[in-house]
Amino acid sequence: MAPLDGRVILVTGSAKRIGRGIALRLAQAGARVAIHYGGSAEAARTTAAECGNAPVFQANLEQVSEIARLFAQVEQHFGRIDGLVNNAARFSRIDPLKITEADWDSIHDVNLKATFFCCQQAARRMIAGDGGRIVNLSSLGGLRPWAHHAHYCASKAGVIMLTRALAKAFAPKVTVNSVAPGVIPFGDPDERIERLICATPAQRAGTAEEIADAVIYFLTATNFVTGQVLAVDGGLSQR
């Protein structure tokens, strides 16, 4: 039997990049995957086809009402939800002296607020049912301070503390864990990314598949593993 045989798992922001890699690995492991996207409809359909014609759900995660609609639709389609991977996020580089309220809200609305309300929607259903597994994608930036990403670092540090607090709140039926990726580039890395790769003890960048492996670990672990953060970063957070 495949490790996730028949389990219903929603992956937010899974049209492209890391989210796509996670969705593909979950489908290979036997999960019934729900593909969520914000604006990338065509890429989402392609990923869904690669996941054995998985269903596709659109929602703007900035709106709590859209998050509620997304989970109602997933429940309506599958009749249950066993796992949630909070992958969708935003990233920007802005001098903290120049950041505006809109810049701040843009990052926090998706990275932190949406992650919380997705956890809430999932946990309500999992606790009323057979339990479940939640994995939040945080970041090396939630562990290490980056001067020109202070707003992003704060949002991802928030995801890490949310993970720990919700692990206590939702135990024992639901586990909440986090994977903190290091440098996972897509396309040609710019100079800053090249510098980070050079500073990585593993001496290379990571891949979406390596992040997906860590996500699978938390989705298949017993409820004795909860509130944990696993950095998958080639050792960069240890420097």
Ligand X SMILES: NC(=O)c1ccc[n+]([C@@H]2O[C@H](COP(=O)([O-])OP(=O)(O)OC[C@H]3O[C@@H](n4cnc5c(N)ncnc54)[C@H](OP(=O)(O)O)[C@@H]3O)[C@@H](O)[C@H]2O)c1
Q: Which stretch binds ligand X (CB under 6 A): 1-9, 60-68, 77-85, 221-229?
A: 60-68
Catalytic: 217? no
Q: Does 195 bind ligand X (CB under 6 A)?
A: no
CB 11 within 8 A of CB 19: yes
Instruction: Please give the structure tokens belonging to residue 171.
Output: 């135990």
Residues 6+ apart with CB under 8 A from 189: 183, 197, 205
Q: Which amino acid is at 137?
A: L
Q: Does 184 bind ligand X (CB under 6 A)?
A: yes
Q: Choose which of 39, 98, 190, 224 interacts with ligand X (CB under 6 A).
A: 39
- Smallest distance, ligand X to C-beta of residue 37, A: 3
Q: Which stretch binds ligand X (CB under 6 A): 3-11, 72-80, 83-91, 222-230?
A: 83-91
Element (H, E) at 169: helix 150-170
Binding mask 216-235 for ligand X (x = CB under 6 A): --------------------
Cα-based distances in Å from 197 to 77, 148, 206, 239:
42, 18, 9, 13
Check 152, 157, 176, 218 and give the catalytic one.
Answer: 152
Q: Does 91 bind ligand X (CB under 6 A)?
A: yes
Q: Does 237 bind ligand X (CB under 6 A)?
A: no
Question: What distance in Å separates the CA atoms of residue 222 and residue 165, rounded to the nearest whole number?
Answer: 18
The distance of Cα 99 from the centroid of its chain, to the nearest Å, equals 25
**Residues in contact with ligand X by the rule CB under 6 A:** 13, 15-19, 37-40, 60-62, 87-91, 110, 137, 139-140, 181, 183-184
Residues marked as catalytic: 152
